[in-house]
Structure 1
Amino acid sequence: MPVTSELTEELRSIAKDFVTARCNQWIAREWDERCHYPKELFDEIAQLGWLGIGVLEEDGGSGGSALDLIVVCEELGRGSTDLVACLSLTVSGLRTLVHHGTDDQRATLVPKLMDGSRRLSISISEPDAGSDSASLSTSAVRRDEETYVVSGQKTWCEAAEHPGTIIQLFARTEKTERKHQGISMFLLENDAPGVEIRRLPTLGRNITGVCEIFLDEVELPMTSLVGPEHGAWRMIQSELPLERLIIASGFIGATFQVLEDVLEHVKEREQFGQPVGNFQGVAHPLVDLFTRAEATRLLIYEGARLHDVGEDCVKEASMAKLASSELYADAVRSAMLLMGGYGYIREHPLTMHIPDSVIAPVAGGPSQIMRNIVARSLGLRP
């Protein structure tokens, strides 16, 4: 039985052609170097309907499956993992709105998210609440029956600064003994009064950009609340498995691109009268990396399959994120060794992959946290 359907493979072919023509790694490297956010590219992605893959058509989406979405993100990852982040922010936020938003929120925002005229950023982390995100201290206090007043600081918010962006802001609306309770989610315009956004200078991932957000008594109407008051933590947890699979698919796409580039190089590069790929010291590390890549991709697909049939995929999604991020880092490090000085030239896309792969085991959930989640699913208590 094939892992993917004929229709999914047709979608992969379309995505592959799109990435090759519009956002391959050579183009993405230039964008990254210039800290350029290609709005026109994401307008095209919206026109292709990819932002709504996996969301039912009757809910305003494009239909299709989680596996379809994973395949598209895998191909985008061949251009840059940052391109996947741009897409996944809106995709994840769109799903949250469809599942938990009010009728008015869905009617107003879903069409604008689908056509690309509005985009989403997600703001959970704070300077003192990263992996322990439930310890967030940003507060949203009711001033009256119609208004919340929000104050605090957020960090590591991707794509938050770009025009037309709505921030999905998580804030504490009630002090409780259990830190996972009392958290609510709001929709915040990034140019609202009292909001200050600063871009953080980073080694890589400069297409979307990473920001910190300062909130000084920002007034939010009751209509900006998404889902039940104090009930955002369950909403976060329900969307995390698919989000991790999306992240993993971008990493595996980037990994295959790096490995294929190295393979081409070692077949063409000759030393001592033969291609360097003929030497076992070169061939064997590549074989090991390709083997891990194929196995990791199947793990990602299995997680997507489970998600599509409504089964729990927390373990598989965490394994996939763990395996793909560490593999990406290992593949880039090996590529540097196998390509020698050629991989150190700034014009080569490998120089974009170096910082991106370094942050991969941290972004979207550190490897240590992923291992803890998997351990708990195995009945262990690390």
Structure 2
Amino acid sequence: MSSMYFTEEHNAFRQSFKDFLQKEVFPNVDKWEKQGFVDKEIWKKFGEMGYFGLNYPEVYGGLNLDLFYTTIFLEELQKVNSGGFAAAMWAHVYLAMTHLEKEGSELIKEKYLIPSITGEKVGCLCITEPFGGSDVAGMRTTAVKKGDSYILNGSKTFITNGVYSDYLVVAAKTNNELGYKGMSIFVVDRDTKGISSTNLEKLGWKASDTAEIAFDNVIVPSENLLGEEGKGFPYIMQHFALERIVMGINAHARAEFALEYAIQYMSERTAFGKTIDKFQALRHRIADMSSEVEMCKEFNYSVIYRLNKGEYVVKEATMSKLVSTKIADEVIYQCLQLLGGYGYMEEYPMARLFRDSRLGPIGGGTSEILREIIAKIIIDKKEYKPITQ
């Protein structure tokens, strides 16, 4: 592991986390993949070990560690070979919980963030809508102020942890006339009257519960507003850099896992009197793929390094997700090919990896949207700036 970014403490954490996953997660992955959701017990075990609080403040039960611990957390989750399980974990920690910590009042942090770090409560982030996709500004869900409450109406879709989470972080229009400037964010208890969830069947990410969620005259107390009314859109944009680099790291990690498995398989598979890792055409294919993955990994580490220092890396994080997810798809496709017929069999890991990886260029902003954002930055000289406090 690169000593430029990882200390002995980081490496020790990686090994202990690997051991934890081997003991607590690996034996259950196939069951979770079949049942379509993750058992509640594992959330509490993650919480007990402090894994949900790696980069959160100590005052709320976190460990306040640097983002390279988060990087290790994400990388090792991908090697469990269940994109759905990994997504359930990181969507809770780096999507829902991020808004609680950055925009939540002390009351909200006490009620939701602290039990989220301990694993007693699980959250989901509700932004995407059935008719909106990546068009966040075109949101139709509304939250109309009425006395000391807001009345929430609308729907969200493709929500990870959307069926079994304990609370929902929901974006809605509080002023339709202002467009995206009239958007706000709320935290809503799952058992609030008027919320209904429909489980969605997916190509991959089978172990995560993914839902379409409807809000029918849901009463949300005013104190459940996150941050200021009308600042929802910049809050969302502010955190997209983290979400995109998270998905970039996920991509290089699963591609690396696929390569490691393919190389091991090639060292054991014999054809025409020798192992197939001795055939030049296949060796050179591995060389090309390994070079691409290593380039992604080093770039992603440099982005994490800058993000950890507080820099606003929206351009680089967007590039990370765009390129890393594309390369991961291509690498895993080629690795499946290297396994031949066995790559197509469910008892081998490559088939699941292939399905799970395909969501990379779609979720968290499609590659098409990311290209336009990058084009605006590079060609139109558009500047994305952090929210000024």
TM-score (norm 1): 0.94
User: How many Å apart are 1:176 and its aligned residue?
Assistant: 2.9
- Secondary structure (helix, strand or coil) at the match of 2:152 reads strand
In 1, Cα distance between the equivalents of 2:251 and 2:84? 10
For residue 364 of structure 1, what is the aligned residue in structure 2? 364
User: How many Å apart are 1:8 and its aligned residue?
Assistant: 1.6
For residue 5 of structure 2, what is the aligned residue in structure 1? 3
User: How many Å apart are 1:381 and its aligned residue?
Assistant: 6.9
Query: Structure 2: which amino acid aligns with 1:373?
Result: I
Whether the 8 Å contact between 1:81 and 1:250 is mirrored in structure 2 is no
User: How many Å apart are 1:132 and its aligned residue?
Assistant: 0.7
In 2, Cα distance between the equivalents of 1:36 and 1:17? 23
For residue 195 of structure 1, what is the aligned residue in structure 2? 195
User: How many Å apart are 1:27 and its aligned residue?
Assistant: 4.8
In 2, Cα distance between the equivalents of 1:281 and 1:33? 37
User: How many Å apart are 1:30 and its aligned residue?
Assistant: 4.2
1:184 aligns to 2:184 (yes or no): yes
Query: Structure 1: which amino acid aligns with 2:197?
Result: I
For residue 121 of structure 1, what is the aligned residue in structure 2? 124
In 1, Cα distance between the equivalents of 2:218 and 2:50? 34
For residue 104 of structure 2, what is the aligned residue in structure 1? 101
For residue 290 of structure 1, what is the aligned residue in structure 2? 290
Whether the 8 Å contact between 1:152 and 1:214 is mirrored in structure 2 is yes
- For residues 205-262 of structure 1, give each alpha carbon's deviation from its aligned partner in whole angstroms, at most 9, with x where no partner exists: 1211210011111111111111101111111112111122222222222211111111
In 2, Cα distance between the equivalents of 1:3 and 1:135? 40
Seq. identity, % = 26
User: How many Å apart are 1:29 and its aligned residue?
Assistant: 4.1
- Secondary structure (helix, strand or coil) at the match of 1:217 reads strand
- For residues 118-175 of structure 1, give each alpha carbon's deviation from its aligned partner in whole angstroms, at most 9, with x where no partner exists: 011000011111111110101111122x11111111111111111x520001110002
Query: Structure 2: which amino acid aligns with 1:10?
Result: A
Which moved further from structure 2: 187-196 or 123-132? 187-196
1:142 aligns to 2:145 (yes or no): yes
- Secondary structure (helix, strand or coil) at the match of 1:37 reads coil
For residue 303 of structure 1, what is the aligned residue in structure 2? 303
Which moved further from structure 2: 93-102 or 272-281? 93-102
TM-score (norm 2): 0.92
User: How many Å apart are 1:189 and its aligned residue?
Assistant: 1.7
In 2, Cα distance between the equivalents of 1:105 and 1:285? 52
Whether the 8 Å contact between 1:174 and 1:183 is mirrored in structure 2 is yes
For residue 112 of structure 1, what is the aligned residue in structure 2? 115
Whether the 8 Å contact between 2:60 and 2:114 is mirrored in structure 1 is no
Distance change in 2, residues 1:359/1:99 (3 Å): closer
For residue 250 of structure 1, what is the aligned residue in structure 2? 250
User: How many Å apart are 1:190 and its aligned residue?
Assistant: 2.0
Distance change in 2, residues 1:27/1:260 (3 Å): farther
- Name stretches of at least 5 consecutive residues in structure 1 with no aligned partner: none
For residue 41 of structure 2, what is the aligned residue in structure 1? 40
In 2, Cα distance between the equivalents of 1:282 and 1:380? 42
1:274 aligns to 2:274 (yes or no): yes
Which moved further from structure 2: 35-44 or 322-331? 35-44
Whether the 8 Å contact between 1:15 and 1:76 is mirrored in structure 2 is no
1:346 aligns to 2:349 (yes or no): no
In 1, Cα distance between the equivalents of 2:30 and 2:368? 29
User: How many Å apart are 1:343 and its aligned residue?
Assistant: 1.2
For residue 174 of structure 1, what is the aligned residue in structure 2? 175
User: How many Å apart are 1:59 and its aligned residue?
Assistant: 4.5
RMSD across aligned C-alpha pairs, in angstroms?
1.8
Whether the 8 Å contact between 1:32 and 1:204 is mirrored in structure 2 is no
Query: Structure 1: which amino acid aligns with 2:108?
Result: Q
Query: Structure 1: which amino acid aligns with 2:110?
Result: A
Query: Structure 1: which amino acid aligns with 2:304?
Result: A
- Secondary structure (helix, strand or coil) at the match of 2:153 reads strand
In 2, Cα distance between the equivalents of 1:181 and 1:326? 33
- Aligned counterparts, 1:14-163, within 5 A: 14-24=16-26, 27-79=28-80, 80-92=82-94, 93-144=96-147, 146-162=148-164
Whether the 8 Å contact between 1:140 and 1:148 is mirrored in structure 2 is yes
In 1, Cα distance between the equivalents of 2:262 and 2:21? 19
In 2, Cα distance between the equivalents of 1:376 and 1:11? 39
Whether the 8 Å contact between 1:77 and 1:250 is mirrored in structure 2 is yes
Query: Structure 2: which amino acid aligns with 1:116?
Result: G
For residue 385 of structure 2, what is the aligned residue in structure 1? none
- Secondary structure (helix, strand or coil) at the match of 1:176 reads helix
Whether the 8 Å contact between 1:29 and 1:349 is mirrored in structure 2 is no
In 2, Cα distance between the equivalents of 1:161 and 1:318? 29
Whether the 8 Å contact between 1:344 and 1:350 is mirrored in structure 2 is yes
In 1, Cα distance between the equivalents of 2:22 and 2:283? 27
Whether the 8 Å contact between 2:336 and 2:351 is mirrored in structure 1 is no
In 2, Cα distance between the equivalents of 1:137 and 1:248? 29
Whether the 8 Å contact between 2:85 and 2:205 is mirrored in structure 1 is no
Whether the 8 Å contact between 1:244 and 1:364 is mirrored in structure 2 is yes
